[in-house]
Amino acid sequence: MSDITLANLTYITREDLSAQLLESDNAPALPSNLAIVDVRDSDHIGGHIRGSTWVPSSELDYKTPELVRQLKDKEVVVFHCVLSQQRGPSAALRYLREKRRLDPESKTESQGEVKEGGEGEKAKEGKGQKVLVLSGGFSEWQEKYGPDKRLTEAWQKDIWEYGS
């Protein structure tokens, strides 16, 4: 059984994430050190955070190892679904566990401290990758930033107007 649990997850607010996106030198593109992973399934319609990567939760079983390799150089990885209550946090846990499995010496940062995958001097060097979950998911994101084309792509107001 893994020692990485829901208690290890850290959340980021829509305001903090949007500030990181807008203050980036790459705006409106994602900062080069950040990845956003959208794990919604068929409910992906109606818009998405600009620059996010869509990996449906139904495909995570076989795509997580590839995702860990693709995102290894990112300092921050943010996961979300519609509400970030189930699929988003589950995807973040799966990612953290797979990252540990593929590289036991890797570090991830959560709850303000570095969690070591293994012991030794290597684990003490530098900062680990931060794996976060977007608080409130895309539902809360689109309430505030849906119409903002700098932050949200393909947003369709009529889909979100009466809830998802």
Q: Look at residues 44, 72, 69, 62 and name the one whose alpha carbon lies nearest to residue 129.
A: 72
Q: What phi-psi label fits residue 158: left (phi over 0), alpha (psi between -120 and 50 degrees) or beta?
A: alpha
Coil, helix or strand at residue 19: helix
Known catalytic membership, residue 81: yes
Selecting among 81, 132, 133, 134, the annotated active-site residue is 81
Contacting residues for 45 by C-beta, under 8 A, at least 6 apart: 156, 159
The token pair at 40 is: 């919604």
Catalytic residues: 81
